[in-house]
Chain A
Amino acid sequence: DAKTTQPNSMESNEEEPVHLPCNHSTISGTDYIHWYRQLPSQGPEYVIHGLTSNVNNRMASLAIAEDRKSSTLILHRATLRDAAVYYCILLLSGGYNKLIFGAGTRLAVHP
């Protein structure tokens, strides 16, 4: 199964942009890249997903490398509420059951 690699932790200051990297060098051509985040003592929350093109929504932007071997979740202006664990996950083609969560990146946001 294709896996993702993320830094264990990152730090940011409030109102600064945050770039959260994810490597997925064994990604298959039809695997979607999903990002979820989990605030303390809460269930995971969907953030964004994409296949090949960069994606934007109200929460974040997703930049996908041309070879699709890596991606970056961009929070344009971090707030204290963005402090969470961010998971980069590959939704394997044909595998509705295979949303495999890794350890994620713990993001700390400083005032």
Chain B
Amino acid sequence: NAGVTQTPKFRILKIGQSMTLQCTQDMNHNYMYWYRQDPGMGLKLIYYSVGAGITDKGEVPNGYNVSRSTTEDFPLRLELAAPSQTSVYFCASSYTQGHREFGEGSWLTVV
């Protein structure tokens, strides 16, 4: 099973550039989430979605946008990248309020 797949795994961005982190799940989960993890810290929720066409903000949404056009895909868009967005990004999915399945992470550096 592929589970939750994130791309790219590593990326270096220049300040002010934009990019999209892709996330796909093949488990037919209705809920999907984006987290970021700064060094030595726990995960912080950026955005989540309870189903196609529905998204909502988490703890730290500023500087990010998401969309959910299909059940499988939940891309995270970074507009005007800033050094503060240097982090590891994790996508996750779940059935309703069940446990989360996480992807392997995307390491992003903004220079």
Contact = CB atoms under 8 A, between A and B. Distances in A.
Nearest to A104: B42
A91 B97 contact: yes
A107 B40 CA distance: 14
The binding surface of chain A is classed by DSSP as loop
B58 A44 contact: no
Nearest to B47: A97
Interface in B42-65: 42-45, 48, 50, 56, 58-59
B94 to A, nearest CB: 8
A102 B102 CA distance: 17
Interface residues of A, number: 20
Interface residues of B, number: 26
A42 B43 CA distance: 12
Interface string A97-111: 111111110000000
Contacts of B40: 103
Contacts of A101: 35, 42-44
Contact of B99 (A34, A42, A43): A34
Nearest to B90: A43
A56 B2 CA distance: 26
Nearest to A47: B99
Nearest to A101: B42
Contact of B58 (A87, A97, A104): A97
Interface in A77-111: 87, 91, 96-104
